[in-house]
Every structure is written in structure tokens, then in C-alpha cells.
Amino acid sequence: MSRRSQVLRALIGAQGTSVSGEDLAAEFGVSRVSISKHVAALRDMGYVIEAAPHTGYSLVSSPELLLPESVEALVRHELWARFEGGPSTVSTNDDAKRLARSGAPQGTVVVVGAQSGGRGRLGREWVSPSGGVYLSIVLRPGISPARCSALPLVVALGVARGLESLGCHPLLKWPNDVWLGTGAGATDTSGKLSGVLLEMQSEIDRVEWIVAGVGVNVSSSAGRTPGAAYVDDQVPGCAPAAVAAAVLDGIAGCFGQFVSDGFGTLAHEYISRSMLEGRQVTVRELDGAVRASGRVQGVDADGRLLLDDGSGMLTVSTGDVTLRDAGA
Ligand code: BTN
């Protein structure tokens, strides 16, 4: 973690009370002048930090814009090694792929507060106004491409875990969409909350890198996109940086479990959060052609959707799912 983010983390941890420059300098093994330079840099970024002669520094407020430093100061998991980004970019997936190609380590994060060319699954656009969280991570799991089929579900489950830790009721839509559950019934939803886009580079038997991009709708104050749900529908005033950090830590936990034990150990948790479980669905190809229809009966250890079509069990690896009894 950068020294500046460490200073910020200490100020956030103090929850508005003062932290002395001397204590910070001793903790990080640097001079007090160096601490005051980091504080000045944080102020330039929009953090309001008060300084009192005998008590030290206290954080009064954070910038509204989502900045990588704010997220780095809040994440807990050791997987997250390096933070890049800024107020906006074209697509964090494009930035993360560039970094991955030039050797960025596993755990590199690109996080921004707006995108001008956000990309979704199946060649769709991901509308990315400010007020949302847009991040991409570099993973190097060192496994064969054949073992990666469940990874989109692993990342979506991590996003759901993170959002749940903030007080939301997320539900999963196979393979890697996160919807906002109403809390009323196991499958009732109010709109799509988050989407996941995975891209990878691999040799025939070894994955070189995977970039997982996550978009989360956080605040609807700038207007609502049709069909979308927002974190602040259930957790009013939730800061984008807190959402980004919670999502990252959720993903890190699931990813660690996946790498050590495979998806089998996560499948039960995935199914228990699925808004499709037991419902009649249609799975379509990219061109709209129907690939399969049936009642959802969970997912297998490779992350494939299991469908009972009345005459037997089908397994589906890819496609776009629609509920036959609703507009999801
Ligand atoms: C989908 O549901 O279609 C996936 C949406 C993924 C959007 C995220 S936002 C951050 C990252 N950068 C992109 O351009 N796309 C992903």
C-alpha cells in the first residue's frame, strides 16, 4: 500500500478524532515533514483534513469523487497489491488489460468514478455515469483455461458477499449478474445492481492473466437507468469508496476459496442466492436463438447451469437467460 494511502487509512480509522503527526511518523518510520507532505497531497485531492497544534490531524470529509486512494485505504484483504485509476477513464477493463500485458501483478486494481466507454457482456454498452463504481482487477490464478469456467460465478458471488456486508440484499442471476433482491421472497428483485465482465489471455494449458471488471450502480441521484437498481435504494448515502472496498474484499475471499478448493465448495452458496432457482427460464445465443429452456435446478461444480426440460437434465455453459414468467 502506498504511504499516502496508509496515512489516509490511519485518519479514516481515527473516525474524526485527531492523530498526531509524530505518532504517524513513528508508525511508518518516516519524518514528520514527510507526513505533512502526504497530508498536503491528500488535501489537494479533496480530502478536508484539519490540523491542530497539539493534537494533530483529523479527517473532516472525503471527496465525492471516487479515488483509488480512498478505496486502498478501506480494503482489508491482502490480495489487493496495487491501485490505479482516477476520477474517470474510457474503460477500466481496457486499462487493466494494458497493465496485465505489461506484467502488472495479481491483485492490481483499476478503479474510477465514471467511464466514457464502459463495456458489458455480449458486446453491450455499460452506461457508467458518475455516482457508480467501476473497477477491474488483474488475476493470475496459475490454472488451466479448462478450470476457469466457473470464475465468472466466483466473482459475482464475491460482489454479492461484499454488497451484503453493507446491508444490501443482492441476488445472483446466472452466470454473473447481481440483482437487488427486495427481501420479500427468495427470488423477488427490483432491478440489476451490478454486472461482471471477464476477459483473459491464455496459452492452451495455462492462463496468463484474467481481467475481471465490475460495475456497481451506487447512487441514483443523477437519474435512474431503466431496469437498474442502486445500492442507495437499500443503503442510503453509502459512499462509492466503501462499496468498491467491500466488493473487492468479497471477491478476494471467494477467489481464494476457488483457487484452493475449486468451485464445488462455493456452488451451494451461489445457488442459495440465485434468483433463478426453481424457475422456468429460456437461455438464448448471442443472436437470440433459443439454446435451451427448462426449470433451473442449480449449477454444477464447473459453474454450468442445470436445467430440467421435462425430459431430463441439461447443462448449459454460456448464454443469456430470461425468466419465462417475468421481464428479468
Ligand atoms: C454486464 O453485465 O454486461 C457486465 C458489465 C461490466 C461493467 C464493468 S464496469 C468496469 C469494467 N469496465 C468495463 O468497461 N466493463 C466492466
pLDDT digits 0-9 by tens, 117-171: 999 988 899 999 988 999 999 999 988 998 899 999 999 999 999 999 999 999 9
Ligand 1 atom with the smallest distance to the CA of 121 is 3
Segment 283-298 shows an average pLDDT of 92
- Contact between 158 and 250 under an 8 Å Cβ cutoff? The reply is yes
Closest residue (by CA) to atom 11 of ligand 1?
213
What confidence tens digit (pLDDT) does each residue in 72-108 have? Answer: 999 999 999 999 998 899 999 999 999 999 999 999 9
Output the nine-digit C-alpha cell for 73.
Answer: 485505504
- Taking the centre of ligand 1 as the mean of its atom positions, its distance from the CA of residue 239, in whole angstroms, is 20
Percentages (nearest 5) of helix, strand, coil residues in the chain: 30, 30, 40
Q: Is 120 in the pocket of ligand 1 (CB under 6 A)?
A: yes
Our answer on whether the CB atom of 253 is closer than 6 Å to any ligand 1 atom is no
- pLDDT(231) > 70: yes
Ligand 1: centre distance to CA 135 (Å):
8
Q: Residue 326's pLDDT band (boundaries 50, 70, 90)?
A: low
Query: Residue 161's pLDDT is what?
Result: 98
Residue 287 confidence (pLDDT)? 84
Q: How confident is the model at residue 327 (pLDDT cuts 50, 70, 90)?
A: very low
Is pLDDT at 328 greater than 70 in this prediction? no
Tens digit of each residue's pLDDT (9 = 90 or more) over 159-215: 999 999 999 999 999 999 999 988 766 667 789 999 999 999 998 889 999 999 999
Mean pLDDT of 209-228: 93
Q: What is the pLDDT of residues 306-319, one digit of tens each?
A: 999 999 999 999 99
**Lowest-confidence pick of 58-62, 85-89, 260-264, 284-288:** 284-288
Ligand 1 test: best mutation among 130, 214, 248, most atoms within 8 Å of CB? 214
pLDDT digits (tens, 9 = 90+) for 43-69: 988 899 999 888 899 999 888 788 999
Q: Does the pLDDT of residue 305 top 50, yes or no?
A: yes
Whether the CB of 126 sits within 6 Å of ligand 1: yes
List of long-range contacts for 255-264, beta carbons under 8 Å, 24+ apart: 255/79, 255/139, 255/141, 255/154, 255/155, 255/158, 256/79, 258/141, 258/150, 258/151, 258/154, 259/141, 259/143, 262/147, 262/150, 262/301, 263/150, 263/153, 263/154, 263/301, 263/302, 263/303, 264/301
196 in contact with ligand 1, CB cutoff 6 A: yes
pLDDT average, residue stretch 237-255: 96
